[in-house]
Amino acid sequence: MRSWHERGVLYSFVTNNAEKSAEQFAEKLMRAGVSCTPQQVVTSADAAFAHLEARYAAGTEVFCVGSASLRERVAAHGFSLAGEGRRRCWSGWIGSSAITRWQSRCATCLPARA
């Protein structure tokens, strides 16, 4: 990667882990000696937020299963968090550590309907 950087080759780091932000992953890579900026990191949560923002208005209620930081990022992107008492969830994503725990309740977590 150092030679890519020196030659101006563009590269990114992509992860399916939605629990941490791009900033947190970049910090982790930097501690390991890998030159990285948050702009070079794409997480599965980033992809989910792009999907939400392209299709739903700010304030749309989102049922999110995942870490506190993931729920905070849902709110930071302008969406409202749906409560756990929801009976129906029509689409969405799940934080990786919560998959087995919530599999039978809701396959994923995007906008929720009552």
Q: What would the pLDDT profile of 70-86 be if each residue is shown by its tens digit?
A: 888 888 989 888 876 65
Q: What is the pLDDT of residue 66?
A: 78
Residue 114 to residue 91: CA distance in whole angstroms? 13
Q: Is residue 32 part of a domain?
A: yes
Q: What is the pTM of this model?
A: 0.66
Residue 12: C-alpha distances to residues 25, 32, 62, 70, 77 (Å): 12, 16, 28, 21, 22
Q: Is residue 71 part of a domain?
A: yes
Q: Is residue 84 part of a domain?
A: yes
Q: Is residue 108 part of a domain?
A: no
Q: Is residue 6 part of a domain?
A: yes
5 alpha carbon, distance to own chain's centre: 26
| Closest among 58, 20, 55 to 38, alpha carbons compared | 20
Whether pLDDT at 5 is above 80: no
Mean of the pLDDT values across residues 57-81? Answer: 84
> How many structural domains is the chain composed of?
1
Q: Is residue 92 part of a domain?
A: yes
Q: Is residue 107 part of a domain?
A: no
Domain region containing 75: 2-102
Angle at 75 between CA 77 and CA 66, to 5 degrees: 110
> How do residues 83-100 score in pLDDT, each as one tens digit?
766 554 444 444 443 333
Q: What is the pLDDT of residue 9?
A: 86
Mean of the pLDDT values across residues 53-74? Answer: 84
Q: Is residue 76 part of a domain?
A: yes
